């Protein structure tokens, strides 16, 4: 008999979590104004709000924390992290920051000016925010397949090269500080970008004299998908693939809270010394001195180990298997989601799931609240609440896809938790025809409303 898949770690420390009654959850979600961000974590049994900073560190990472060097300048921890970054990414220089958006802030302060244009496969929301904040224009060029959740395509995160070239041709080179490749493509559902596509983007960027930035939060998961899905890469190691990916870039921004499996941290890494030098002043102003940026010494030490562990094949195999397993269960139950299963999350297709809820009543949010009431599981809405209002007309924007993202924290939940999640979704799905009404807004902020919005059941 072929041995079944099993995790490449065992559990040394546990954190109790508690189930609750449906009646209690109905009360809590009402008090939270039907906004899942407002729930206390103690009111949540399985928390799939995000995979950011929610991973479980290993014994080696905790040991590294004890050895952290808290010297203001020239700390050993900095050099450990530098070694890990140089070895794994091939970039020669780096600046530590407190998280991914801080890395964007430091880099974009140096290279982005008003009226600039930054094409990409699909910018992450903080990246978009940092570009627009500087009065520059982020342009998404996803491939068509990304918008259809039922199409099975191995690299739905790819950039549309024709759209990219049109932009590179239309705007002068001096207005394009870089092309941004986000790996994996979070907005498209944690979907990977192929090496072929990365090469294609790099070739076009070179032709037009433009630099390439990797927004790299999930670069290791992306490398795993290249190894397992792209012809010619099956025999290459994750590390070889990672270093090939980054060989096509000029710099990278990293949210270490994702694939580097730490609770907080990030960095910008550079191929060219002059770019690194241009960013130093901003790092000192916004983050901290050059050899600690926004991190404690102990955090840099844990991050150095996390980069190694996060690029280990057996670890990644377990991680991706777990997400795929949830996908298989949902297939079995007929629950619609963005196919194929992504690297870090399952994106449930709420429009297909709740066909009777009108879009004006926030379909994915309605599903999120139902799932919480059903089983104490917290996901996050990627739909009209997140899409916010048009800045000019102030009308609600209704995106093509209404998704409920169930992000899976790294090394945190077991197979039985996944079974529980799938069963809860099945139960809600079984009665989805009876769910006809959603929610209406009673209070919202001018921007980023989804974090604090208050809702009541639609009347
Ligand atoms: C999380 C993320 C960021 C921002 O990082 P933070 O650590 O949350 O500030 C940027 N880009 C991508 C693709 C991300 O997933």
pLDDT tens-digit series, residues 88-112: 999 999 999 999 999 999 999 999 9
> Contact at 8 Å (CB) between 195 and 233?
yes
CA of 240 to the centre of ligand 1 (A): 24
Give me the catalytic one of 72, 133, 398, 451: 72
Question: What would the mean pLDDT of 33-54 be, rounded to a whole number?
Answer: 98
Return the CATH number of the domain spanning residue range 59-310. Answer: 3.40.640.10
Neighbours of 313 (CB within 10 A): 15
Give me the catalytic one of 217, 220, 304, 422: 217
Structure confidence at residue 189 (pLDDT): 78
Give me the catalytic one of 9, 56, 125, 289: 125
pLDDT tens string 143-163: 998 888 888 899 999 999 999
- What is 90-153 written as a DSSP string? --SEEEEESSHHHHHHHHHHHH--TT-EEEESS--HHHHHHHHHTT-EEEE-B-GGGG-TT---
Q: 362 an active-site residue? A: no
> Contact at 8 Å (CB) between 37 and 368?
no
CA of 355 to the centre of ligand 1 (A): 32
H/E element, 252: strand 251-255
**What's the chain's average pLDDT?**
96
pLDDT-derived band at 125 (thresholds 50, 70, 90) equals confident
Neighbours of 165 (CB within 10 A): 17
CA of 201 to the centre of ligand 1 (A): 21
Whether residue 243 has pLDDT greater than 90: yes
Residue nearest to ligand 1 atom 1, measured at CA: 255
152 vs 407 pLDDT, higher one = 407
Whether residue 391 has pLDDT greater than 80: no
Structure confidence at residue 387 (pLDDT): 87
Structure confidence at residue 190 (pLDDT): 85
Return the closest-CA partner of residue 454 out of 443, 440, 438. Answer: 443
Structure confidence at residue 87 (pLDDT): 98
Question: What would the mean pLDDT of 232-252 be, rounded to a whole number?
Answer: 98
Ligand 1 pocket test, pick from 138, 186, 252, 262 with the greatest ligand atom count within 8 Å of Cβ, gives 186
Q: 350 an active-site residue? A: no
Cβ burial 27-44 (10 Å sphere, 16+ → b, else e): ebbeebbbbbebbeeebb
- What residue spans of 253-409 are helical by DSSP H? 273-286, 297-310, 313-333, 350-353, 363-375, 384-387
Return the closest-CA partner of residue 261 out of 447, 83, 84, 66. Answer: 84
Neighbours of 52 (CB within 10 A): 18
Residues with CB under 6 A from ligand 1: 52, 99-101, 124, 126-127, 182, 186, 215, 217, 255, 257-258, 266
Question: What would the mean pLDDT of 276-299 be, rounded to a whole number?
Answer: 97
H/E element, 377: strand 377-378
Whether residue 69 has pLDDT greater than 90: yes
Structure confidence at residue 459 (pLDDT): 86
For 65-87, give the secondary structure using H, E and C: HHCCCCCCCCCHHHHHHHHHHHH
Task: Give the predicted TM-score (pTM) of the model.
Answer: 0.95
Whether residue 239 has pLDDT greater than 80: yes
| Cα atoms found within 13 Å of the Cα of residue 147, Cβ hemisphere only | 9
**Of all atoms in ligand 1, which is nearest to the CA of residue 266?**
7
Phi, psi of 355 (to 5 degrees): -65, -15
H/E element, 180: strand 179-182
pLDDT tens string 166-219: 999 999 999 999 999 999 998 777 899 999 999 999 999 999 999 999 999 999
Q: 312 an active-site residue? A: no
Q: What is the dihedral of CA 406, 411, 412, 414, to 10 degrees?
A: 90
CA of 112 to the centre of ligand 1 (A): 18
Structure confidence at residue 188 (pLDDT): 73
DSSP class of residue 157 equals T
**Of all atoms in ligand 1, which is nearest to the CA of residue 182?**
13
> Contact at 8 Å (CB) between 363 and 432?
no
pLDDT tens string 351-369: 999 999 999 999 999 999 9
Q: 83 an active-site residue? A: no
Give me the catalytic one of 51, 69, 140, 215: 215
Do strands 377-378 and 46-47 pair parallel, antiparallel, or not at all (unpaired)? parallel
Instruction: Say how many residues make up the chain.
Output: 459
Residue nearest to ligand 1 atom 10, measured at CA: 100
Calpha distance 42→54 (Å, rounded) = 15
Calpha distance 291→84 (Å, rounded) = 15
**Of all atoms in ligand 1, which is nearest to the CA of residue 257?**
7
Structure confidence at residue 316 (pLDDT): 97
Structure confidence at residue 99 (pLDDT): 97
Q: 419 an active-site residue? A: no
Whether residue 228 has pLDDT greater than 90: yes
**Of all atoms in ligand 1, which is nearest to the CA of residue 184?**
13
Question: What would the mean pLDDT of 387-412 be, rounded to a whole number?
Answer: 91
Beta bridge partners, 159, equal 142
CA of 285 to the centre of ligand 1 (A): 21
CA of 407 to the centre of ligand 1 (A): 14
Percent of the chain scoring above 90 in pLDDT:
90
CA of 221 to the centre of ligand 1 (A): 15
Domain boundaries, the chain: 22-51+313-457, 59-310
Phi, psi of 118 (to 5 degrees): -125, 100
Beta bridge partners, 443, equal 454
DSSP class of residue 346 equals E
Calpha distance 131→213 (Å, rounded) = 13
3-class SS at 257?
Answer: coil
Whether residue 402 has pLDDT greater than 90: yes
Calpha distance 157→177 (Å, rounded) = 22
Burial class (CB in 10 A: 0-12, 13-18, 19+), 51: buried
CATH class of the region 22-51+313-457? alpha beta
Ligand 1 pocket test, pick from 183, 258, 382 with the greatest ligand atom count within 8 Å of Cβ, gives 258
Contacts of residue 438, Cβ cutoff 8 Å, sequence gap at least 6: 357, 358, 360, 361, 362, 363, 365, 366, 457, 458
């Amino acid at each position: 008999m072929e041995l079944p898949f099993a995790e490449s770690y065992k559990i040394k420390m546990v954190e109790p979590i508690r189930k609750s009654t449906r009646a209690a959850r109905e009360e809590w979600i009402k008090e939270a104004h039907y906004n899942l961000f407002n729930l206390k974590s103690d009111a949540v049994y399985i928390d799939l709000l995000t995979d950011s900073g929610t991973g479980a560190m290993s014994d080696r990472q905790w040991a590294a924390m004890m050895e952290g060097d808290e010297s203001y300048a020239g700390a050993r921890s900095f050099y450990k992290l530098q070694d890990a970054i140089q070895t794994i990414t091939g970039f020669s220089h780096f600046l530590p920051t407190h998280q991914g958006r801080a890395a964007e802030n430091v880099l974009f302060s140096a290279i982005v000016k008003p009226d600039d244009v930054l094409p990409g496969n699909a910018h992450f929301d903080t990246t978009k925010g940092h570009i627009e904040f500087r009065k520059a224009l982020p342009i998404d060029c996803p491939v068509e397949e990304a918008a259809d959740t039922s199409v099975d395509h191995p690299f739905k995160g790819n950039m549309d090269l024709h759209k990219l070239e049109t932009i590179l041709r239309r705007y002068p080179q001096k207005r394009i500080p870089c092309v941004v490749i986000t790996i994996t493509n979070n907005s498209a559902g944690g979907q990977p970008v192929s090496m072929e596509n990365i090469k294609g983007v790099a070739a076009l960027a070179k032709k037009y004299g433009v630099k390439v930035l990797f927004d790299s939060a999930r670069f290791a998961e992306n490398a795993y998908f290249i190894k397992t899905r792209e012809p010619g890469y099956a025999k290459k190691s994750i590390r070889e693939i990672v270093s090939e990916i980054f060989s096509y870039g000029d710099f990278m921004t990293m949210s270490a809270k994702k694939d580097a499996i730490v609770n907080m941290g990030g960095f910008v890494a550079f191929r060219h010394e002059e770019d690194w030098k241009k960013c130093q002043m901003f790092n000192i102003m916004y983050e901290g001195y050059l050899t600690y940026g926004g991190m404690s010494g102990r955090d840099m030490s844990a991050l150095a180990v996390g980069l190694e562990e996060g690029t280990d094949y057996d670890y990644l195999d377990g991680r991706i298997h777990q997400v795929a397993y949830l996908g298989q269960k949902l297939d079995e139950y007929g629950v619609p989601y963005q196919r194929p299963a992504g690297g870090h999350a399952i994106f449930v297709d709420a429009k297909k799931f709740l066909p009777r809820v009108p879009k004006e009543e926030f379909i994915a949010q309605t599903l999120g609240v139902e799932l919480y009431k059903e089983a104490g599981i917290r996901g996050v809405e990627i739909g009209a609440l997140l899409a916010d209002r048009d800045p000019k007309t102030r009308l609600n924007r209704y995106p093509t896809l209404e998704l409920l993202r169930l992000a899976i924290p790294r090394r945190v939940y077991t197979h039985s938790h996944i079974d529980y999640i799938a069963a809860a979704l099945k139960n809600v799905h079984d009665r989805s025809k009876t769910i006809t009404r959603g929610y209406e807004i009673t209070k919202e902020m001018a921007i980023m409303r989804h974090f604090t919005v208050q809702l009541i059941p639609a009347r």
